[in-house]
Structure 1
Amino acid sequence: MLTEPSALVVRATLPAVGAAIEDITGLFYEKLFAAHPELLRDLFNRGNQAAGSQRQALAGSIAAFATYLVDHPDERPDAMLRRIAHKHASLGVRAEQYPVVHQHLFAAIAEVLGDAVTPEVAAAWDEVYWLMANALIASEKRLYAEQDVTEGDVWREWEVVDRTEETPEVASFRLRPADGRPAPAFRAGQYVSVQVQLADGARQIRQYSLTGAPDAATRSIAVKRVGDGAATPEGEVSAHLHARVHAGDRLRVSAPYGDLVLDSAEAPLLLASAGIGCTPMLAMLEQLHADGHPGPVTVVHADRSPDTHALHGHHEALTGKLADASAHFWYESDASSETTASGYRTGRVDLKDVPVAAGTRAYLCGPLPFMRAVREQLLGKGVAAADIHYEVFGPDLWLARA
């Protein structure tokens, strides 16, 4: 909890800090990477840094956390913290890195805001930072313990068993531990981080959802090629995997993390995805089939066309294996009259004519505009806000607090 004196100071200074927060975070990253260039090379996503989205995300998370503390003095935004902690654990973030971030962040605050940063203001925002940092450190410690790994040591060598070209843009990779030990357990909906060494020596990391059954001996991921390879920074890792990784090669893969997971309830379910966001839904469908889920399951997916719908056949087949399930696929183009009869539709997702049972729990994964639109439609159909769960990939994790 934020102390009352600090809450008063933070509330009074939030407008000024909020107005300058992107300047603060931009300067923070300049200072951090100047002092620790290895963090940009081997931990932070260089594409997000180049685009400025990481700076915006840090600004958003700080502002969101501080606002929540002053509006709810006896609570904390656990959903946001939990999601960030899972992301940090998948990257191998260590407790010792938080003081380093604190040093450069507060140096940036002092430089941008100047004389406005009195000792009282500095102390109040220092309290905000350590409330957030210590909550994340504690959560990440628990996550490491659950996977039986030492702090930050989440990586293992995995061998690529085979590779399948799902679409011109998406390739699936089936993996097994190279050391012969069993694959770690995971829950349907979770992801792993994959670390690759690029031509310039950098070890860049990206997250990919696990697509197979949680009890399988191997693990599968589907990777969409982002952008046009070398000309697009945010496509560094996906381009590398598509161009260079084949059966017999090895990858460094983290323990599984992520909090968008099915619970044990037999409630009606709705699984909505767009584009490559179908990947965690496939693992959920595998799990539901294995468990003999008896309740209704509504599967919703949006894509550009049937040809770009990765793992399309698997998506349909798994839905068909459930006791009470229906699939509804929307395509921006190429949903012909022949396919419309099979549940394919042209245009954007519109749930107006899709039955949604009372008590439905919904799971969403895809671009933020898609998830916002589906969430709004579900709320309009009577689904409780607390029963709508979604995965945000990229630097916008803090947005999942909503």
Structure 2
Amino acid sequence: MLSAQSAPLVQTTLPVVGANLTTITGRFYERLFEDHPDLLKNLFNRTNQVSGAQREALAGAVAAFATVLVERPGERPDAVLSRIAHKHASLGITPDQYTIVGRHLMAAVGEVLGDAVTPQIAAAWEEVYWLMANALIALEARLYAQAQVAEGDVWRTLEIAERHEESAHAVSLVLRRPDGLPLPPFRPGQYVGVRVRLPDGARQIRQYSLSSAPGQKTWRITVKREHRADGSVPDGEVSSRLHAHARVGDALDVSLPFGDLVLPEGDGPLLLASAGIGVTPMLSMLDHLALASSPRRVVVVHADRSPADHVHRDEQAELVGRLPHASLHRWYESGAADLTGPGVSAGRADLDGLDLPSGTTAYLCGPLPFMRAVRGQLLDKGLSPSAVHYEVFGPDLWLGK
């Protein structure tokens, strides 16, 4: 909770700070990388820096956190921070890095807003930052403790046991420990970080959902090769490298599993909605449910460009078929007429005709426009906002929206 002297200052200045946050975060990253160039090479996603997605995500997170502090002071903003904490843990972020970030972020505020930032206003916004930073540090410490590792000690060397071409643009890699021992447990829906050395010496990290059930000796990730047809930002550095060079027997640096989009315990009904490569965490959930012969009511929704682009299409259908109370509904922008059988439609996903049982919990993963559209339809059907959960690959541009 903000102090009595800081709360009115933050509330008064939130509109002007919020209006300039993207500029502030842009200047923050410039300062940070000028002072610590290795962070851009070895920690931050360079593609997201070029596209501007990372500065937008940081601005959204700060704005959302500050808004909670001033508008709902009795509320714990952990929901805003949980997803960030899991991402940070999969990167191995440590508390000392928050001091570096805070110094450059507050300096960027002063540079962008100039004389409008009095010492009192600067102190109030520094309090906002450290409330957010300390909350994240505490959440991340809890995640490291649950994983039974020291803070930041999340990286392990795994071996590629199998490689499978899943589509023209996606490949799955089955990972194992070199000594053959079991891998750490995870919860269905979680992801791992993969750290890859690139030709210029940088070690870039990307997160990939585990796309099979827990409790096995191996993990599986499915990597979509990112390609920007308009050339606005470079093609995916890590995904392109893995597609071109990752082979059976190669070693990969892989983090422990994290992520807060996880299958809930119990017997309540579920909606698993995905688009594109967003199918991967849903596959882990479905695989887990099928192995447990779950009697839960499960409605599975998937949208894609075409059946050929639908990664793990046959596997998804097979897993749904093993569940006695599950149904599968697919939408394709093209090629739907090439498939026979129920549950296949042309166009974009439309949940209007789906019957969702009372008490359904929804899990979404895919591009933001898809998730926003599905979330809106679910709210129209009467689902509580608290019953709709989502996962974003890359910076979370939904925060603060």
Give yes or no for TM over 0.5: yes
Structure-to-structure mapping, 1:180-219, within 5 angstroms: 180-219=180-219
1:320 matched to 2:308? The reply is: no
- 1:80 and 2:80 equivalent? yes
TM-fit CA distance, 1:148: 1.4
- Indicate if the aligned counterparts of 1:77 and 1:401 stay in contact, CA closer than 8 A: no
Residue 141 of structure 1, CA deviation: 0.6
Query: 1:291 deviation in Å?
Result: 2.4
Is 289-298 or 324-333 further displaced after alignment?
289-298
Q: What's 2:345 paired with? A: 345
The SS at the match of 1:162 is strand
CA contact (8 A) 1:391 1:400 kept: no
Match of 1:40 in 2: 40
Greater Cα shift, 69-78 or 42-51: 69-78
In 2, are the aligned partners of 1:160 and 1:246 still within 8 Å (CA)? yes
Report 1:48-67 matches (<5 A): 48-67=48-67
Letter paired with 1:292:
S
Aligned match of 2:361: 361
5+ residue gaps, structure 2:
none
After superposition, residues 235-246 of structure 1 pair within 5 angstroms as: 235-246=236-247
**Does residue 333 of structure 2 align to residue 332 of structure 1?**
yes
Aligned-partner Cα distance in 2 for 1:91–1:205: 7
After the TM superposition, which residues 2-401 of structure 1 pair with which residues of structure 2 at under 5 Å, given as runs?
Answer: 2-227=2-227, 232-336=233-337, 339-396=339-396, 399=398
| SS of aligned partner of 2:183 | coil
How much has 1:340 moved relative to structure 2?
4.9
The answer to whether the 8 A contact 2:60-2:400 is kept is no
* Alpha-carbon shift at residue 179 of structure 1 (Å): 4.2
Deviations 1:234-259 (A, max 9, x none): 50000000000011111000000000
TM-score w.r.t. length of structure 2: 0.97
Q: Return the offset for 1:59.
A: 1.1
Deviations 1:69-103 (A, max 9, x none): 10011123211211100000000001000000011
Relative to structure 2, which stretch is displaced further, 377-386 or 236-245? Answer: 377-386
Q: Which amino acid aligns with 1:249?
A: D
Provide the C-alpha distance between the structure 1 equivalents of 2:40 and 2:238, rounded to a whole number of angstroms: 14
CA distance in 1, matches of 2:293, 2:82: 29
**Contact 2:301–2:330 under 8 Å retained in 1:** yes
When structure 1 is superposed on structure 2, of 20-29 and 151-160 the one drifting more is 20-29
Counterparts of 1:360 and 1:294, CA distance in 2: 14
Q: Distance in 2 between matches of 1:58 and 1:387?
A: 25
Cα distance in 1, alignment partners of residues 275 and 178 from structure 2 = 33
1:184-229 CA deviation, whole Å, 9 max, x = no partner?
Answer: 1000000000000000000000000001110111000000000169
SS at match of 1:166: strand
Q: Deviations over 1:8-61 (max 9, x none)?
A: 000111122112212211111111001100100000000000111111111111
Q: In structure 2, what residue type is equivalent to 1:64?
A: A
Give the C-alpha shift of residue 178 in structure 1: 2.2
Partner Cα distance (1:147, 1:277) in 2: 25
Deviations 1:342-384 (A, max 9, x none): 3211001111221111111111100111011111111111222
For 1:285, give the aligned amino acid: L
Superimposed CA distance per residue, residues 105-142 of structure 1 (whole angstroms, 9 cap, x where no aligned partner):
11111111111111110111011001000000011011
Amino acid at match of 1:167: S
Structure showing the higher helix proportion among its residues: 1
Superposition deviation, residue 264 in structure 1: 0.8
Q: Take 1:340 and 1:212, find their aligned partners in 2: how far apart are those partners?
A: 27
Given that 2:270 and 2:299 are in contact with CA atoms closer than 8 Å, whether structure 1 keeps it comes out as: yes
Q: How many residues align structurally?
A: 399
Asked if 1 retains the 8 angstrom alpha-carbon contact of 2:332 and 2:346, the reply is yes
1:136-169 Cα deviation digits (max 9, x unpaired): 0011011011111111111000100010000000
Q: Single out whichever of 275-284 and 68-77 deviates more from structure 2.
A: 68-77
Q: Which amino acid aligns with 1:24?
A: I
Listed as ranges, the gaps of 5+ residues in structure 1 are none
| Aligned-pair Cα RMSD in Å | 1.4
- In structure 2, what is the Cα distance between the partners aligned to 1:182 and 1:215? 9
- CA–CA distance in 1 between the matches of 2:235 and 2:127? 34
> For 2:88 and 2:189, how far apart are their aligned partners in 1?
17
Moved over 4 A (4+): none
Shift of 1:292: 2.4
